Amino acid sequence: MDDPIILALVLAGAALAVAGLIGFNRLIGGWSPAALDDPEAAGARLAEDVVGFEPGEGACAADGRAALVLEADGERLGLVLARGGRTVTRVFRPGEVDAVSRDGAALDFRFSDFTLPRARAIMADDAEAEAWRSKIARFARQS
């Protein structure tokens, strides 16, 4: 690939192929967004990802895009987030979350995590959001 013209053609062809494959993937479908509607399932997911995590009390966001699960002994807070068709988990000890704040029924999290700097969990109502905010306040440096 020393010839710049051939190189440009190869790259243009590759870019077209990439665009075509993404378009084809969209066109034929076959995937569905992950839904978190069962705190027990969210806890099980955390237990799979984090060896030794014993799920305790949990709650799922009203839109099914997030779940909060406290460890049975209250030592750690587990967070499960739906990302596309997959879920992503994080576990925090007290003081490891940068900030938790409430905006109506929504709980907003900020993390010192380059790949996941913030997250939002929209709970069923303001009361549930406030109840969880106070439960998990100790995991945040700011609350």
Partner 1 sequence: MPNLPDPILIAIPVFVALIVAEMIYARLTGHARFEPGDTAASLIMGMGNVVSGVALGFIALAWFTFIERFALFDIGWAWWAFAVCFVLDDFVYYWSHRFAHTVRWWWADHVVHHSSQHYNLTTALRQPWLNPLTLKFIFFGSWLVLLGFPVAMVAFVGALNLVYQFWIHTETVPRLPRWIEYVMNTPSHHRVHHATNPVYLDRNYAGVFIVWDRLFGTFQKELDDEKCRYGIVKNLGTDNPLTICFHEWVGIVKDVRGAKSVREALGYWLGPPGWSPDGSRDSSKIIKAKWAERQAALNGAGGTAEPEAAAPAPQPAE
- Between CA 127 and CA 27 the distance in angstroms is 42
Using CB under 8 A, pick the residue from 3, 5, 51, 73 that binds partner 1: 51
- Between CA 122 and CA 103 the distance in angstroms is 9
Q: Is 25 in the site for partner 1 (CB under 8 A)?
A: yes
Q: Is 12 in the site for partner 1 (CB under 8 A)?
A: no
Strand partners, 87: 82
* CB of 42 vs partner 1, minimal distance in Å: 15
Q: Is 74 in the site for partner 1 (CB under 8 A)?
A: no
Q: Which stretch binds partner 1 (CB under 8 A): 58-66, 70-78, 82-90, 97-105?
A: 82-90
C-alpha radius of gyration, the chain, whole number: 20
- Between CA 112 and CA 24 the distance in angstroms is 37
- Between CA 46 and CA 54 the distance in angstroms is 8
Q: Which stretch binds partner 1 (CB under 8 A): 58-66, 114-122, 123-131, 135-143?
A: 114-122
- Alpha-carbon dihedral angle through residues 18, 11, 115, 112, given to the nearest 10 degrees: -160
Query: What residues line the site for partner 1 (CB under 8 A)?
Result: 1, 7, 10-11, 14-15, 17-18, 20-22, 24-26, 28-31, 48-49, 51-52, 81, 83-86, 88-90, 114-116
